[in-house]
Structure 1
Amino acid sequence: MKKAMDKKCYIKSMALISCQKPLCDDWFSEPITFDQAYVRAQEPDNKEFILPSETRRMSKILKRTICTAISSLNQAGIHNPNAIITGTGMGCMENSEKFLFDMAKFGEKCLKPTLFMQSTHNTIGSLIAIVLKCHGYNNTYSHKSISFESALLDAFVQMKLGYIKNALVGSHDEITPFTSLVLKHTHPEY
């Protein structure tokens, strides 16, 4: 056990999609500034990562998830990670909102099952595993603002104990216009 705990862990690569230019480090030297309180993430050109036929039913966060996962793995030279560990404070908010709005509008009739299936927190890690055909350890942390730290700690412990050699650790969240409005009214300090 002592020998496994002596192993060092390194972050080999990273990828980011935000309101800055996606999947590059330009924001370090040339950050884009905004005057608005709410700004959506800039969408990457996902044709490099996902077939157009597959993107049809994916929400924006799921497309961004696949782009960042594949980009980061390519940078690290890893084809198939031993583990996929995800942190998400709010999950797939856009799909959750659409599903709840449809439920309020139509009751339990005419609901789209895709919105429900893609609204859970573990949808993100599951989709990455499906796309990568990764059958290893897969865990999602949904602990609000400490979700990413929890995912990173899990990967660290799994590696230190020798259960895995590498992991794709990600943090994926989205704020929608509606969620932004709710947060503004319920938490004006933000």
Structure 2
Amino acid sequence: MTVKKTPPLDLSDEKILTVMKCRPAGIMTYVIRNILDMEHGYRGLKTSAVLTRLKRMESQGRVERVSSQYSVQICWRQSDGASFLHKEWGVSVAGYGEERLVAISRGRALSDAWHSPAFAGMSFGDFLKRAKCKQAESGSPFGASIIVDGKPAFFVGADNAHVRFAYPGSVNISSAHPYEVFPIDLRPAAYRHEETAP
């Protein structure tokens, strides 16, 4: 009689990150799973369980995808904390038109769009049946390096009174007073007269 071995119950993000350190340039999902199985005692661990944790860490800015020779399998590396995580997305919903959103992933963009008051009476499932979402082409200065209150950040957008930005590795988008932002040409036009360097 064969006794089925089950993986330990203490699989954590930190354990996966420890495995990833052995290949800092990039490591495939299935390779992480194999190392955990063969070298760390996680017998019977499913690749899907590892992938779920990696995607969660991706949304937190702790890991990122890197290009590889494979078209389907995903290669990962630890984020150095200096990357700009956000992308622009075009979300269109039948009967409602299209909206351009900034989010770290397609799923987050769809979720943000669904939370619009226009869809208050629609379930998320019904919304997904009618919605289409694809990454939009982002032109300059989106993602440009800026300084906010003396700290490095990335430019997201601006209106007449605020500059939207994200810190390196952060999933959050914040707003700053224009006078806190350098270079001055990325401030709203009315605030570009201040020429004091940070």
Q: Larger strand proportion, structure 1 or 2?
A: 2
| TM-score of the two chains, using structure 1 as the length reference | 0.24
Q: Larger helix proportion, structure 1 or 2?
A: 1
| TM-score of the two chains, using structure 2 as the length reference | 0.23
Could you say which structure has the greater relative contact order, defined with CA pairs below 8 angstroms and 6 or more residues apart?
A: 1
In our comparison, the structure showing a higher alpha carbon Rg is 2
